[in-house]
Structure 1
Amino acid sequence: MRRLRVGGAEIPLFQRIFLVMLACVVSVQLLNLMLLLVVPAPDARITTIGQIERMLLTGSDPQGNLKLVPGRKADEGDWTPRVDRIRAAMIFAFQMPADAVELSFPSVSGDVTPVFDRSRIPPPTLPRSRADARDVVIVGDFIVSARRPDGQWVTVTLAHGGFDLWRWRGVLWLGFAALAVLPFAWALARRLAKPIGVFAQAAERLGRDPRAAPLDLKGPPEIGEAAQAFNRMQARLNRYVDDRSTMIAAIAHDLRTPLMRLELRLENAPDDIRHACENDVRDMEAMITAALAFVRDTSRAVARRPLDLRSLAENVTDDLADRGEPVTLAPGDPIVVEGNVVALKALLSNLIGNALKYAGSAEVTLSGTENQAVIEVRDHGPGIPSQDIDRVFEAFFRGDRSRNRDTGGIGLGLASVRAVALAHGGDATVENHPDGGLLARVTLPA
């Protein structure tokens, strides 16, 4: 994002928005001013008394500028010398009584206060002939009502149909003004949306990889402060996780010393007690070793790259099949994900190993969409009680109550699976299959 500075200091975002909006308003006002200066004033429509007479006699106007409607619509309105002069010419041209012709101008009548004293104004001069009377013009809108010999009143007015040319010019100019504003609106929207999009991508990347590179976003001071706050939050989260992992690793490591002392003291104990305690000590040592490995594998930063998940699954299943294990992989197309080879291979090994250990067989299925890859491992064992479904991913939880009690395990396999899935921006779930057995599902961003 290009930086905008004044006197060496960056302009805040709200000032940038204000300046863009101000420039937009100024541009529109300049265009409106040009509209007043460039677009000509509308031409007034000119009508002759002869055209009105023809409309009254024939009911049609060849030019289509007039319309005839029944009834009386004109009234005296405000008197002006113009009304008196044109009305007298109409009476002379129509050869009608004075009370049979009425004239008014909608743009004048009722809008102004009469300022003429009729007693001081001489009567209007009549045209020399009816032909001259028919040539008298009326500029603009008018309403003429005439009484026919049968006593019926008819009214002639201008026919307003569609837009006049000057109105079309105004509409086109307004459209041009809107087009002129579009670049300003586009620039403003882009400046506002771009940093938000970058933050959304950074948040998504943080969910997939907590140890991703810090956000590098430049721009106005508000954007820079938000980017720094985001990076500080990411650093605090990583430090929090690292501190907890370090604490667990330290506790597990320090437990080895008292266990070693306990083994030394058990050498002088009776055989029955010593053998039982030695088995417990070995179990505790195995748990400590597994805990240290779990902390080490889930806390270290690893490189990620695009890889074919199906090829990785084929390597795991082929190795197990070569050893005689009943494991199958459903065929399908390659599925590309971005991840760590070692971590994802351990994830697959844990899921398939659990199915083989507790159910004796494993069926692996890979599927994917444009945005997501799905790993499903199904077995045909006894399944898991519904109350333990949400606990199987807890560290050191063992579901031996529903499986073979003779099988071992520390209880960190599924915990490691979920940790790897979450670290890659996905998740892991288990459920009892409707046809029996357990179905473990892992979703990863494709």
Structure 2
Amino acid sequence: MTPPNPSILTRIVALVAATLLLALGAMMLVTFRGPPPHARPMMPGEAAALLQGSAAPAGSWTVTRYLSDRMPAAEPDQLDDPRGAAHIAALMGLPPSDVNLLRQRPPMRLDDPDRRMMMQAEPGRMMLHGAFLLARRTRDGWQLVQARQGANERWYAITLSLMAGIFILLLLPAYWVARRITQPIRMLADGAANERPERADPLPLTGPPEVRAVGAAYNQMRARIADYLNERTAMLVAIAHDLRTPMTRLSFRLEALPDGPRAKAQADVQEMRAMVTDLLDFMRGQGDPAAHIRMDLSAIVATLADDQADMGQDVVVTRSDRAVVRGDAVALRRCIANLIDNAVRYGGSARIALTVANGRATIAVEDDGPGVPETAIDRLCEPFYRGEASRNRETGGVGLGLAIARRIADDHRGRLNFVNRIGGGLRASILLPLDD
């Protein structure tokens, strides 16, 4: 039986509902099972004991004792409570005139009935809250006791601990739910960011229904792109292949022309053949890559340099570190050869350096040519683009050599870079990961 797979909306609603329920439960727990938010009030008997000095303050009350030659007058935030003073005097066995009580003014309106009830409460039910000043007449003057009620640190500590615990308990399932929601979306984003989606594996259809629907649509789109590219490649390869036959017949017929026109026509046919060959190589490279094997790049570089030197080209290897990579030997040879051919064609020479650093092999090909305008460097690898705009046969090429080189580098998880050298010339480099 397939387990239920709720939608993203259902998961988010469930997460919010669970969060609210837990928060409500925590509030009820603190309200009904926790200690009160403030310390308990002081009873008149405890105030009398404080005034007599026979007891220490209880709970969070802070008491200050001092003598004064006169009874302090009530401050704006204080109220004179003669009934309470008389009750405390009776508990101490003193006349009411010897005891005075100043209580903290409640934060209420003067006509508030609750305040009147508090001030008119029976003496036996009187309780002292907040802060008060209690005075007793002695032979040396007035003995004053100023008391202030502090906050209940225990209540705040328990409340904050519960809040922190609930936050952690909510954070863990929230992270788990968010990860379950976002992981398929991240896989979909990674698949969409693939430079060659038609070669990528289909995405697994996991996660919420919305994500699975998007993944299925992406897989269908990937399949359609692959079919379109295959059809386009097959069509272009067939056209390029079929062009060879009429060009061969045309070459034979050109033999009947005079020497001058025949040479120019033969050159045009030769250029067309080169274009067809490059196009076939480029389009065939769009198919499935060959199996990758371990190889030493230094051997390929040395062989290519020797072949160019045998043809009279100024090609020299200035450095050749041992660099073992995994790839298609034929394709990598074509990639490096295209860079060398480009350097010889436009710069007249090529200096090749193979270095290894940070787990990568770098093949740098430098020439002494005029370089490339900075605005054109990013377009060098575009199919059929040439930095030399005249397209004459002296400089050769149809603009596919560097495009083929970049495709091969991409297929080997590498990168192709171009930069103008200081003092003139172009530096083309291929970065390939080493095989561990």
TM-score normalised by the chain length of structure 2: 0.75
Residues 26 and 395 (structure 1), Cα distance of their counterparts in 2 relative to 1, 3 Å cut? closer
Q: Does 1:316 align with 2:300?
A: yes
* Residues 100, 146 of structure 1: 8 Å contact kept: yes
Matches within 5 A, 1:104-253: 104=103, 112-114=114-116, 138=127, 140-146=129-135, 156-160=146-150, 163-204=152-193, 206-207=194-195, 210-253=198-241
Which residue type is aligned with residue 169 of structure 1?
I
Q: Does 1:287 align with 2:286?
A: no
For residues 117 and 384 of structure 1, the distance between their equivalents in structure 2, rounded to whole angstroms, comes to 97
For residues 90 and 424 of structure 1, the distance between their equivalents in structure 2, rounded to whole angstroms, comes to 95
Shift of 1:391: 5.1
For residues 210 and 408 of structure 2, the distance between their equivalents in structure 1, rounded to whole angstroms, comes to 35
Residue 14 of structure 1: aligned partner:
9
Measured on the aligned residues, the alpha-carbon RMSD in Å equals 4.5
For 2:28, which of 17, 33, 57 is the aligned residue? 33
Residues 366 and 182 (structure 1), Cα distance of their counterparts in 2 relative to 1, 3 Å cut? same
- 2:298 partner SS: helix
For residues 117 and 356 of structure 1, the distance between their equivalents in structure 2, rounded to whole angstroms, comes to 106
For residues 250 and 268 of structure 1, the distance between their equivalents in structure 2, rounded to whole angstroms, comes to 30
Q: Does 1:301 align with 2:300?
A: no
Which residue type is aligned with residue 320 of structure 1?
L
Q: Does 1:431 align with 2:427?
A: no
For 2:88, which of 81, 87, 90 is the aligned residue? 90
- 1:415 partner SS: helix
For residues 352 and 25 of structure 2, the distance between their equivalents in structure 1, rounded to whole angstroms, comes to 73
Residue 331 of structure 1: aligned partner:
321
Residue 128 of structure 1: aligned partner:
none
Q: Residue by residue, what CA displacement relative to the aligned partner does 1:59-108 show, whole Å, maximum 9, x if unpaired?
A: x979983234987346447x8xxx82x32133454957649723436669
* Residues 344, 367 of structure 2: 8 Å contact kept: no
* Residues 78, 102 of structure 2: 8 Å contact kept: yes
Residues 406 and 116 (structure 1), Cα distance of their counterparts in 2 relative to 1, 3 Å cut? closer
Aligned-residue identity in percent: 29
- 1:302 partner SS: coil
Task: Tell me how many residue pairs correspond in the alignment.
Answer: 411
Residues 229 and 174 (structure 1), Cα distance of their counterparts in 2 relative to 1, 3 Å cut? same
For residues 265 and 26 of structure 1, the distance between their equivalents in structure 2, rounded to whole angstroms, comes to 91
For residues 17 and 116 of structure 1, the distance between their equivalents in structure 2, rounded to whole angstroms, comes to 50
* Residues 215, 227 of structure 1: 8 Å contact kept: yes
For residues 291 and 106 of structure 2, the distance between their equivalents in structure 1, rounded to whole angstroms, comes to 79
Which residue type is aligned with residue 114 of structure 1?
R
Residue 383 of structure 1: aligned partner:
370
Name whichever of 179-188 and 398-407 sits farther off: 398-407
For residues 392 and 124 of structure 1, the distance between their equivalents in structure 2, rounded to whole angstroms, comes to 99
Residues 322 and 201 (structure 1), Cα distance of their counterparts in 2 relative to 1, 3 Å cut? same
For residues 166 and 334 of structure 2, the distance between their equivalents in structure 1, rounded to whole angstroms, comes to 63
For residues 380 and 119 of structure 2, the distance between their equivalents in structure 1, rounded to whole angstroms, comes to 105
- 2:195 partner SS: helix
* Residues 327, 412 of structure 2: 8 Å contact kept: yes
* Residues 105, 141 of structure 1: 8 Å contact kept: yes
Name whichever of 280-289 and 211-220 sits farther off: 280-289
Q: Residue by residue, what CA displacement relative to the aligned partner does 1:151-182 show, whole Å, maximum 9, x if unpaired?
A: 99967222416x43233222222222223223
Which residue type is aligned with residue 313 of structure 1?
L
For 1:49, which of 40, 47, 50 is the aligned residue? 47
For residues 95 and 420 of structure 2, the distance between their equivalents in structure 1, rounded to whole angstroms, comes to 103
Residues 364 and 234 (structure 1), Cα distance of their counterparts in 2 relative to 1, 3 Å cut? farther
Which residue type is aligned with residue 216 of structure 1?
P
For residues 246 and 104 of structure 2, the distance between their equivalents in structure 1, rounded to whole angstroms, comes to 112
* Residues 72, 154 of structure 1: 8 Å contact kept: no
Which residue type is aligned with residue 116 of structure 2?
P
* Residues 68, 156 of structure 1: 8 Å contact kept: yes
Shift of 1:22: 1.5
Q: Residue by residue, what CA displacement relative to the aligned partner does 1:209-253 show, whole Å, maximum 9, x if unpaired?
A: 641111113122101111112223323333443344334323323
- 1:363 partner SS: strand
Which residue type is aligned with residue 366 of structure 2?
D
* Residues 108, 115 of structure 2: 8 Å contact kept: no
Residue 133 of structure 1: aligned partner:
none
Unaligned runs of 5+ in 2: 66-71, 310-314
For residues 261 and 35 of structure 1, the distance between their equivalents in structure 2, rounded to whole angstroms, comes to 97
Residues 66 and 270 (structure 1), Cα distance of their counterparts in 2 relative to 1, 3 Å cut? closer
Which residue type is aligned with residue 158 of structure 2?
R
Residues 345 and 99 (structure 1), Cα distance of their counterparts in 2 relative to 1, 3 Å cut? farther
Residues 98 and 230 (structure 1), Cα distance of their counterparts in 2 relative to 1, 3 Å cut? farther
For residues 33 and 352 of structure 2, the distance between their equivalents in structure 1, rounded to whole angstroms, comes to 79
Shift of 1:401: 8.2
- 1:169 partner SS: helix
For 2:408, which of 420, 433, 437 is the aligned residue? 420
Which residue type is aligned with residue 178 of structure 2?
A
Structure showing greater relative contact order (alpha-carbon pairs closer than 8 Å, 6 or more residues apart): 1
Unaligned runs of 5+ in 1: 126-135
* Residues 3, 220 of structure 1: 8 Å contact kept: no
Q: Residue by residue, what CA displacement relative to the aligned partner does 1:251-300 show, whole Å, maximum 9, x if unpaired?
A: 32332343244335434433443344233223322321222122112x11
Q: Residue by residue, what CA displacement relative to the aligned partner does 1:295-320 show, whole Å, maximum 9, x if unpaired?
A: 112x1111566x77xx5421211323
* Residues 75, 102 of structure 1: 8 Å contact kept: no
Shift of 1:422: 4.3
Residue 62 of structure 2: aligned partner:
66
